[in-house]
Structures are given as C-alpha cells and as structure tokens.
Amino acid sequence: MAAPLQVYTLTNSSAMVGLLGLAQLPFLIVGSMLGGTLADAYERRRLLLIANVFPLVFAAGLAWNASRPGQGSVWPVFVLTALQAGISGIDSPTRSAVTPELVGDDMITAASALNQILFHVGGVSGPALAGLVIVQWGLAPAYWLEVVAFGLALLLLLRMRRLPPPDGGTRAGVASILEGLRFLKGRRALQGTFLIDINAMVFGMPRALFPELAATVFGGGAATVGLLHSSVAVGGLLGAITSGWTGRVRHAGRAVLWAVAGWGLATAAFAATSYLPLALVCLAVAGGSDVVSAVFRNTILQLTVPKALRGRLNAVHISVVAGGPRLGDLESGLVASVAGPQVSAISGGLICVAGVAVVARFLPEFARWTPADAAEPAIAPTPSDGPGDG
C-alpha cells in the first residue's frame, strides 16, 4: 500500500501509479520463470530463505528513501519495488510447488482454501495497519514494519525441514522453462485458468485508482485508501473461512466463470457509488468472489500438472496472478487520466464480465472440467546432472 500511495503523493497522478505496476512486470515475469525452473531443480527451503533475504534489504531501502526530505524521490520506489517483484517471482512458485508435497493431492482444495485465509488475513491487517501507521507516523515506519515482517519469515523458514524437489530434481535452465511452457499446448482447461485470471485482473482490478478515488470521490486520505484495500481482503477472508463447500463442487471451471463474473459486477458497482460504506461492501463482495475463483483455479492447476513440472507451471501461474494486476494498474490509470477514475473502474468491471462470456464460449473444456479430468499425464523428464538439492 505504501509504495503506490507514495508515488501518488509525489506526482498526484494515477497514471504514474499505473506505471509503477508496469515497471515491476518484466522483473516479475523473469523472476517467476527463473523461480519455476529453480524450484524443480534445487532444495526448496534454501530457495525460500534466499528469496526472503533480498526483499528485506529492498524494504530497508524504501524506508530510507521515504525518510528523506519531501518523502523521498520517485525513482527509488520504482527501482526497489521492481527488484522486490523479481525476487517474489522466485518465492511464490517455490511455495506453491511444495504445497501438494506437504498435504497430498486429496487435500489440495482444502489447502488452497487455507492459503487463501492466510493471504487475506494479511490483506486485511496489512493495508489497515499501513493506513494507521502512515497517518500517525509517515511512510518510512510502514516500510520498516515490512523489514520486520521479512525478518520473522526468515526465522520461521529456518525451523522448516529440508524440501528437496521430486525425483532428485531436473536441470535448471532455458530448456527446463520451455518444457514447462510446452506442457500448456493443447491443454485448454489449464489455459483457461490463466486466461480468465488475466481478464479479471487486467480489467477488474482498480487498485491503482484507490488513492485518487479516496481523495476525489470519498473525501479521505491514507486511512481511506487503507480501508479500500482492506475491504477486498475482508471479503476474501470471509469467503475463505466459509469455503468448505468448495470441496463438494465437481465443475471447478464453471465455478470460476461465475466467480469472475461476480468480481466484475461488484467492481463496477463499487465505482458507481460515492457512499463509502456501500463501496466497501461492494469491494468485499469482489474479494469473496476472487477467493472462490482462486481456490478452483489452483485446484485445476495442481491436479492437472505432474509433480515434476509443478514448479515451472506454478511460475506461469504466479506470472499471471501477480502480473495481471500490474497490467491492470496501467490500464485503469491510463483510462482514468482520460475519462476519470470512476469511468475507468466501471468500464473495467463490465469488460471483465464480457471477458467471462468470451472464455466460456471459446474454451468450453474449461467450463466442463471436473476432477475426473485430472489424471496425471506422463512426461519425459529433463535430464539431471545430479541431485537437485544443490
């Protein structure tokens, strides 16, 4: 929350906030592709440790910049958050790849729901706490709290057992990445999980507009921005803790289509009101819809992809999940600079709903997917030079 708010404060431009997300995108994609091949080749706990040391350093740099006169400069925010995005591309697919190994295939849907609970607990507490901290003490202390959080993550990782890759690991490199990408060919249900999320995040995620909407529509400041971010996470948390029913749903693809349509409609409704409580409710509905989509998309991914490829395919998944909102930041920011933030968010939500109809029409295999389609296919493993624990 602190980085886009700092950029908006320094530039008074939602377009610049959108460009912040765009600047992170190439680092995220490269980092994810690298992280995917490393996760299938080397000992994963070690990768997670490395991937949490560097963001701690970058967060300290952001705190130093924000403590300078005038709340610092814009360019360090762009550079350091881009580097953080690149490192997160190693962390996220590695964590996702080890989940099935820890819980077993029959518990993947439940584990996905628990991960959503964890994600949204952070999403609720993080922006709300950030808003209070920024209002009371400024941007730099918010960044320093991030330094502390990464330090705690490192302590927890040190207590985990070793997590070697399946079957001794594969050889990391470009050939390994291409093998993962080739797996997508012809698997239209799996392709659908990526396309539907790109549609939702590019057009239906107006987070780059939150600072401007808070100031111009709702008449607030940093605390209001925090409420807007947190309300999405509150809805997601409520959706996650009540998600026991998801284990009884067979048509996961169909559930994703309905959930993403709900996300788009809720986003459009949020932008159509100037009454803050109603806007927060709409964002909470959007957050709940997003959880349903995420649980079922992750179930399709984990059950469709062989164990030896899960690191690399989770890297593609992370590129989409984390990269889509950054493209969405650019899209919503540019449209807002021409037509205003409310028009940008309303049109994006409605385009998202139209995109659902397009995916349902041209990828019927996605809508029809059930666990019966999840038999693990055979693949030819990439040759390994030796054990994959480095």
The predicted model gives 341-370 an average pLDDT of 91
Which pLDDT does position 31 carry in this prediction? 86
Please say if the pLDDT value at position 388 is more than 70: no
Please say if the pLDDT value at position 355 is more than 90: yes
- Residue whose tokens read 């963001």: 55
Please say if the pLDDT value at position 389 is more than 50: no
Which pLDDT does position 382 carry in this prediction? 35
Residues 107/344, Cβ–Cβ less than 8 Å: no
CA distance 253 to 249: 10
Residue 83 one-letter amino acid: L
Please say if the pLDDT value at position 387 is more than 50: no
- pLDDT grade for 373, boundaries at 50, 70 and 90: low
Q: Give 73-87 pLDDT, tens digit per residue.
A: 999 999 999 999 888
In whole numbers, what is the pLDDT of the chain averaged over residues? 83
Mention every residue, 6+ apart, whose C-beta is less than 8 A from residue 336.
14, 15, 208, 209, 212, 343, 344
CA distance 162 to 73: 41
Closest CA to 199 of 325, 291, 89: 325
Range in 40-44, 201-205, 230-234, 377-381 with the lowest mean pLDDT: 377-381
Among 115-129, 133-147, 253-267, 304-318, top mean pLDDT goes to: 253-267
- Domains in the chain, please, with CATH? 2-162+177-373 (1.20.1250.20)
Q: Give 24-77 pLDDT, tens digit per residue.
A: 888 888 888 888 788 778 788 888 888 889 999 999 999 999 998 888 899 999
Please say if the pLDDT value at position 173 is more than 80: no
> What is the token pair recorded at 346?
């309303």
CA distance 330 to 373: 37
The predicted model gives 294-301 an average pLDDT of 86
- pLDDT grade for 168, boundaries at 50, 70 and 90: low
pTM (2 decimals)? 0.68
CA distance 349 to 201: 10
Which pLDDT does position 169 carry in this prediction? 60
Q: Give 240-251 pLDDT, tens digit per residue.
A: 888 777 777 778
User: In terms of pLDDT, which residue wins out, 32 or 361?
Assistant: 361
User: In terms of pLDDT, which residue wins out, 155 or 325?
Assistant: 155
Closest CA to 363 of 205, 203, 186, 200: 186
Please say if the pLDDT value at position 301 is more than 50: yes
